[in-house]
Amino acid sequence: MFWLARSSRTLYRSAAVLRTRQGALSSTTPTPGWIVMTASQRQQHQRHYSSGPRATSPSAGKHEHTAAEGGSNARTDDSITVEYPAADKLPASETVAGAGRASVHVFPTLASFSLQGKVGVVTGGARGLGLVMGQGMVISGADLAIVDLNKDEAARQAKSIVRMFKKEHPEAKKLPKVTTHFADVSDPESVEACIAEIIAEHGKIDNLVTSAGFTENFEAIAYPIDRMRKLWGVNVDGTYLFATAVARHLMDRKSKASIFIGSMSGAIVNVPQPQAPYNAAKAAVRHLCASLSVEWAKSGIRVNCISPGYMLTALTQKILDDNPDLKQQWTSLIPQGRMGSPEDLMGPVTFLLSDASSYVTGADLRVDGGYTVT
């Protein structure tokens, strides 16, 4: 089974572009993330565009409005600025503890949920959601291949996953095999080389989670086309290249398996941050999932989509610590009233990759606390 996973929260290093209110564009130090401003520029920006009453045109004082104006919470806001740390400063994710203690407190469950004997691949698996989803696969019995641009971080996390498994299953006779592999998911040759390396290490691939991706927040009219091409290259091309490469392998083996991809941004428009190119990319991935599920059904390959909502990863926590108003606006739009934790994806991943979902294909499972239904 294939799983195309919303990997937007797993970020690739990307050169940010500084946008001033006048629309000027200037290159800045390569940084993963959204719009980047210096402290002095932000202060000037906030003084000029405070949330208090202001005129919308030089001669229209009578047209003043406030943030409480009707519809204001359902619009994007180009003043939203978030600074991501440089790639080498991205916070590392912690291995989830206490999620795999089935051998300590055993409860009856369906055998079809097991991934025992399966080999899973997760792209963008060194941090954030990709890492936790990969760990969920291991806890459920699978061996794992972590694919990431940062192979050193992937290797550190692979050791941590095995160490945590051993700690929580001291009686285990066999430890999971967790390997790490480099790939530029937007490069066909890099993808093919990575797939060949994984098969050489594990002998096969059964499940794929495409979690590699990144997001940027820009007004569409100011977003440089080269940035959009890079964003689509990772989020869309990367999903397509890994999905088709693994599918060829599965068809050669005449093996039934599963692939997964997605994001809630493929179904709704996020607010207040402007991110039209990213949302469009995730919509493309969502429909790619549906299309591949039909095309590959005759081969026994299932393709489903998990669409996470706002998840509180280590990186997201750092961003929101610096932008508490942004967290308040996000959570105010979530019926459950909270952001999700990465562990909330472990169950859905296990379900969609296992035989428990053998009659589920082309589905979009939104794990978003109800965000997209309001």
**Per-position pLDDT tens, the chain of length 374:** 655 544 433 333 333 333 333 333 333 333 333 333 444 444 444 444 344 433 333 334 444 444 557 666 777 777 766 666 666 666 677 776 666 655 445 567 888 999 999 999 999 999 889 999 999 999 999 999 999 999 999 999 999 999 999 998 888 889 999 999 999 999 999 999 999 999 999 999 999 999 998 888 888 998 999 999 999 999 999 999 999 999 999 999 998 877 776 777 788 888 877 889 999 999 999 999 999 999 999 999 999 999 999 998 887 888 788 788 888 888 999 999 999 999 999 999 999 999 999 999 999 999 999 999 88
The DSSP bridge partners found for residue 180 are 146
Share of the chain above pLDDT 90, in %: 51
Report strand pairing: 25-27 vs 17-19: antiparallel
Q: Known catalytic residue: 263?
A: yes
Instruction: Measure the CA–CA gap between 222 and 228, rounded to whole angstroms.
Output: 11
Render 155-180 in DSSP notation, one character per residue.
Answer: HHHHHHHHHHHHHH-TT-SSPPPEEE
Give me the catalytic one of 12, 240, 278, 310: 278
Tell me the two tokens of residue 154: 């992937």
Q: Count CB neighbours of 368 within 10 A.
A: 24
d(CA 178, CA 267): 33
| Alpha carbon distances (Å) from 190 to 46, 75, 185, 298, 306 | 44, 39, 7, 28, 25
Instruction: Give the active site residue among 93, 118, 265, 282.
Output: 282
Active-site residue flag, 282 = yes
Of the residues 8, 140, 263, 357, only one is catalytic, namely: 263
| Cα separation, 305 vs 362, whole angstroms | 7
Is 103 tagged catalytic? no
pTM of the model: 0.76
List the one residue out of 28, 36, 128 whose CA is nearest residue 80: 36
Residue 294 Rama label (left phi>0; alpha psi -120 to 50; beta): alpha
Distance CA 264, CA 262 (A): 7
DSSP three-state, residue 28: coil
